[in-house]
Structure 1
Amino acid sequence: MSKSWFIIANPIAGNRKFSKQWKEIKQLLNNKNIDYSFVFTQFSKHEIELVQNAIQQGFRNIISIGGDGTLHNVVNGIMLQRYAKTSDITIAVIPLGTGNDWIKTYNIPNNIEKAIEIISKKKTIQQDIGVLETSDKNISYFNNVAGLGYDGYIVYKLKTLKRFGSIAYLLSGLAGLLFYKKSVFKIIFDDKIIETNCLMTIFGICKFSGGGMQFTKSVNTTDGFLDITIAKNLTIFDLIINIKKLYSGEIVHHKKIETFKTKEITVIPQITKPFIQADGELIGTGKINVKIIEKAINFVIHSTY
């Protein structure tokens, strides 16, 4: 097996010029004597094919260069391949994207030089991975946060607003407040059946989503449980007056929000077919089943975590 790193880079991630960033990345990797091969993505979800080819060739260390979407696709490539145990694979991240929510949980700076310093130390954690299945049997894996309802609508709107950079999350959130219509969700897990008018249901492994918002409570990325947040009949007014709590994580204590931990959950929208998102990527609409896969992949994290 190769001990070299295999880099998968998304040249259109973020809003700055990639060619300048790539020159800096290569120089810093060379300075740290980090051995690597690299390839650039050429189309949507190309990472899945590239990472599978790399693992087949013997690589077990992958660097994802881009945003949360790039990392999501790298993770899906690892989980879908059959050449090696997923727990034998290690992922590191050099963040270039718009949101970069996954890195926030592990105190990884949104800075190329500092991210490479962290890679050189190679402190790892074996993190849980979520797997969700839509009503049309579409399977997708996630390493951060997934959900359906309001947050799925935000991701849907974000696709047309990304040119505005980090403010795009706020703009798409405002659009959701104005246009998203709540639906009745039937939520089934353990011995519970909850049927309620619901703004959104969140499935969390890590803490942050939507550009730094925190909808999950008491997150532990290796405990083998999904952190579930059910935001019930929250209104536009509720969200506006609690905007700071969305970013501090205090929103989970709101009287219209319930939190749970479980290993598997099914959500069945009763009226509409709301958008489903995983790690900020749209993956379908309607009914969803979500499970946890314990300690599935190794991730390089900050030494202070």
Structure 2
Amino acid sequence: MSHIDKININSWFIIANSTSGNGDFSKQWKEIQQNLKHKNLDYSFAFTQFSKHEVDLVQNAINKGFRNIISVGGDGTLHNVVNGIMLQRYVKTSELTIGVIPLGTGNDWIKTYNIPNNIEKSIEIISKKKTILQDIGVLKTEDNQLTYFNNVAGLGYDGYIVNKLKSLKKFGAISYLLAGIYGLLFYKKSIFKIIFNDKVIETNCLMAIFGICKFSGGGMQFTENVNTSDGLLDITIAKNLTFLDLVLNLPKLYSGKIVHHKKVATYKTKQITVIPQTTKPFIQADGELVGTGAVSVEIVEKAVNFCVK
């Protein structure tokens, strides 16, 4: 009997980022274990040891026969787990399921599905195993690097903010706002050439956003009418928005009404290419920096199962 046969098909493999959870990880890990035991969930686990370690851990787990993965951490941990799943070649990605136990400052992906930022409640959701087969986006940068994303990606102002966040993380949840304000003051807009659906748009652009889910940047909403499994990217092009425009419309960034601003355009498409003409702006995917310069983005339809409410 092979090792793979021994793994219960309902068993979970947990990948935990011990640096998330605002320095209280050991206490949170105890709480996670108690709740898993209470729900009689069978699991093995591993802690990440270095940046992007999740990718290797996921692939090893799948190779051993696991088909259910739990991501313990923030949006970055989940992003790396998703990349591990999408990059592996052992099984079809649609045969795999991800559950999320959110820790850390930024948890934007869970907001689309109203998953509470709470250990006990998130494990309750995982135990019920009600899933949605969600689309996943894939970015290709100038150096032909592929990065998958499960929430929101973009380039321009939002990439600049993600880069700035690295030095502000110590301020916790307010760090997003601080980085956003810093970006408004110092980010220089550039002309983007944007190609999709036989259209070519050349415009002075603050940022171009590619969304699968609804929230990014600590709860901001740049996309509307989001359907996470319709096979389409939700594109938002924020054109020549000024510092004043954004300050006056700050509540609309959080309510999603910013998409109705006359300097903002939204589209739906399966594929898009953005070529910055004057600068090499940062590209971010799920709040992780993935490159600079031009990018092309596609959708992988109904790619992975996620446990949702």
Which of 218, 231, 239 pairs up with 2:225?
218
Could you list the runs of 4 or more consecutive aligned residues of structure 1 that deviate by over 6 angstroms after TM superposition? none
What residue in structure 2 maps to residue 73 of structure 1? Answer: 80
Q: Once the 2 structures are TM-superposed, how far is the Cα of residue 5 of structure 1 from its aligned partner? A: 0.3
Does residue 193 of structure 1 match 2:188? Answer: no
Question: In the TM superposition, what is the alpha-carbon distance from 1:282 to its structure 2 partner?
Answer: 0.1
Among candidates 89, 98, 101, match of residue 91 of structure 1: 98
* Post-superposition offset of 1:167: 0.4
Match of 1:55 among 41, 54, 62: 62
Q: Report deviation, 1:6.
A: 0.2
Paired AA for residue 165 in structure 1? G
* Residue 191 of structure 1, CA deviation: 1.2
Give the aligned CA root-mean-square deviation in angstroms.
0.6
Distance (Å, rounded) in 2 between the aligned partners of 1:228 and 1:89: 27
> In the alignment, is the contact (CA less than 8 A) between 1:14 and 1:165 conserved in 2?
no
Q: Deviations over 1:155-213 (max 9, x none)?
A: 00001111111001001001101110000000000110000000000000000000000
Structure-1 residue corresponding to 2:181:
174
Structure 2 length as normaliser, TM-score?
0.97
Deviation at 1:101, TM superposition (A): 0.1
- Pairs aligned (count): 302
Shift of 1:97: 1.7
Runs of 5+ consecutive residues of structure 1 not aligned to the other structure: none
Distance 1:164 1:273 in 2: 28
In structure 2, the residue matched to 1:146 is 153
Show the 5 A alignment for 1:98-113.
Answer: 98-113=105-120
Whether 2:25 is the aligned partner of 1:9: answer no
Q: For 2:21 and 2:249, how far apart are their aligned partners in 1?
A: 29
In structure 1, which of residues 194, 205, 208 is the aligned counterpart of residue 212 of structure 2?
205
- Counterpart of 2:32 in structure 1 is 25
The answer to whether 1:124 aligns with 2:131 is: yes
Q: AA paired with 1:6?
A: F
Q: TM-score, normalised by structure 1?
A: 0.98
Could you tell me which amino acid in structure 2 is paired with residue 207 of structure 1? K
Q: What is the DSSP-based 3-state SS (H/G/I as helix, E as strand, rest coil) of the residue aligned with 1:3?
A: coil
